[in-house]
Homo-oligomer: A and B are copies of this chain.
Amino acid sequence: MKTYSIGEVAKELNLTVYTIRYYDKEGLIPFVERSESGVRLFKESDIAALNVIECLKASGMPIKEIKNFIDWCAEGDATLQQRYDMFMERKATVEAQMSELRKTMEVIEHKCLYYQTALEAGTEDIHKQENIAASIPGSR
């Protein structure tokens, strides 16, 4: 079976070798086998596992919690419920992050328009003037 070195895996996943060794130290990839001389030999399935780890990380999960999941995986079918619950919870937090991001986006887009108008006018005062004008009844 074909295997990959830590450097190859790092390049493929856009990680540093330091990061992968750090993950190993933290117990995220206990299943990676070694050559007789101690060199890590990554299988395709190990790379797939690292991709799942990256996904969990992207969802905001801290490394220690990812380790819990990895431990559960090693324990087999007895932990299926925990793992299911974990992914359902992840789904909820990612949904929350998305709605948070949408709110952030709204404010940013509003600011883009604000500065576009100000740039066109050559001054930020345009917005103050607008508000003053708008606040005087019958001003137009």
Give chain A's interface residues, CB within 8 Å of chain B: 52, 55, 58-59, 76-77, 80-81, 83-84, 87-88, 90-91, 94-95, 97-98, 100-105, 107-109, 111-112, 115-116, 118-119, 122-124
Question: Given that A84-B115, A116-B84 are contacting pairs, would A91 and B77 also be in contact in the complex, using a CB cutoff of 8 Å?
Answer: no
**Contact in complex: B112, A80 (CB < 8 Å):** no
Secondary structure class of chain A's binding surface, majority of residues: helix
- For the complex, give the distance between the alpha carbons of A21 and B83 in Å: 40
**Contact in complex: B104, A94 (CB < 8 Å):** yes
Contacting residues, chain B, for A112 (C-beta < 8 A): 84, 87-88, 91
* Chain B, Cβ-Cβ closest to A100: B58
